[in-house]
Amino acid sequence: MLNDFWVFISSLIIFIGLVASEGLLLVVGSLVLVLTIAARIWERFAFRSVTHSRSISRQRAFIGDTIEYSVSLDNDKVLPLIWVDIQDSFPDGLDLIGATMRGTGLEANRQHTITTSLLPYQKATWKYSLTCSERGYHRIGPVRLRTGDIFGFSSAETRYTKFDHLMVFPRVLDVEGLVFPPEHPMGEIRGTKPIYFDTNRVVGQRDYQARDPMKHIDWKATARARRLQTKVFEPVVSLNMLIVMNGATREHSWQGSNRRLFERTVTVAASVASLADRRGFSYGVVSNAVASYTGKWINVPIGASSSQLGMALEALAMAAPYVVAPLSEVINSERDSLPAGATVLLVTPSLSDTLIDDIAGIRSHGFPVLVLYTGDGLPEQDLGEIRVVPMSSVLDPLEAHEPVRAE
């Protein structure tokens, strides 16, 4: 449009110069016309043989990792680029140290902007350190290039639709001491299997110890022995584990989601999966939270292959803080396929009455249950014989060193 305007102006000046026999007007009009034609030609060929590329040192990382990232622009032609803007769409969960970032009004989309110039046959490369600040499957791109001639007569723009992707896994914490109780009374030896006790199967009694719960005291045996006796339950040892992550952070779905509690829950689920993998268990991960890009709940079947941890972490990396089904529906869909004696590890930020009923239903089918509570502080509900482990001791110190996440 601007070119057409200058063509009209230059033609008008030349016409007036011819009519008025003014040589100066003819020279000015001709000069403007030549520049306008040159600008149009430049506009047409500005991005010929110009290539844009990105480079990421690796495609998988964990929260907190820093990787190498670079951008290159190659002008492989005789025509220079007087100035050029590189505007690359960049996700919010990745931070480029030392880069210029501009918001677009969309929460998950920013622009990484570079303004430069290139001589004929020149290639420029910019190197950055990229910090992975949020988990997820991040997409970088598309990129838009803008340029113009030195006189401002015209501008040119092009887009490259090539995308680069980076999978950022959840943070993995050391939860071994909480999930696997010590086999030795003094805690000198850690068990190689998760040991829980079936309180429905009493195999004997022993003398009471200070760490024993009062509810496990056998009062009849105490009367006979004339000293406190504790029930001894049958230990349940299983190499099969199902990690059930409750994506509901509030009692009702219409109350929305607490993003901070959801991230705590994902972190613990990923940490347990990593621990189970190191210990050689067969394990799977299910959740009523929606998996991004699929719209379905998370479901990684129980397995022990070399790729099992990668599948579990990828599924948790793409977990969104929205619930697509009641947790009971997810559990029921998996219950029939659970191996006998499999342990169910429930990772949850809340303990509603409905969830407590779901836990009781799992136990009634003969599966040991361990609850990992990711909410703040201690749970108010008493689950009786079911062991509930508050995870605040490992989660709170982590949050103390991180920015507060908006809910």
301/312 Cα distance (integer angstroms)? 9
Structure confidence at residue 166 (pLDDT):
94
Largest Cα–Cα separation, the chain:
131
307/211 Cα distance (integer angstroms)? 40
269/264 Cα distance (integer angstroms)? 9
* Polymer length of the chain: 407
Type of residue found at 240: N
Type of residue found at 40: R
239/339 Cα distance (integer angstroms)? 10
Please give the angle made by the CA atoms of 213, 343 and 280, to the nearest 5 degrees. 115
Q: Which residues pair with 348 in a beta bridge?
A: 373
CATH among 2.60.40.740, 1.20.1260.10, 3.30.470.20, 2.40.40.20 for 50-169: 2.60.40.740
How close are the terminal C-alpha atoms of the chain, in Å? 47
> How is residue 326 annotated by DSSP?
-
Looking at the whole model, is its pTM more than 0.85? no
Structure confidence at residue 126 (pLDDT):
95
Type of residue found at 245: M
Please give the angle made by the CA atoms of 185, 187 and 188, to the nearest 5 degrees. 110
Q: Compute mean pLDDT per 10 residues along the chain, 407 residues long, and list them.
A: 58 62 63 63 79 93 94 91 89 86 62 91 94 92 85 77 93 86 42 56 81 83 87 70 90 74 95 92 92 86 92 94 89 83 90 85 85 87 82 84 50
Structure confidence at residue 153 (pLDDT):
63
Cα-flanking dihedrals φ and ψ of residue 261, to 5°?
A: -65, -35
Q: Has domain 238-400 been given CATH number 1.10.10.60? A: no
Q: Are strands 297-303 and 240-245 parallel, antiparallel or unpaired?
A: unpaired
Q: Are strands 101-106 and 50-56 parallel, antiparallel or unpaired?
A: unpaired
180/190 Cα distance (integer angstroms)? 7
Nearest alpha carbon to residue 195 among 175, 208, 207, 179: 179
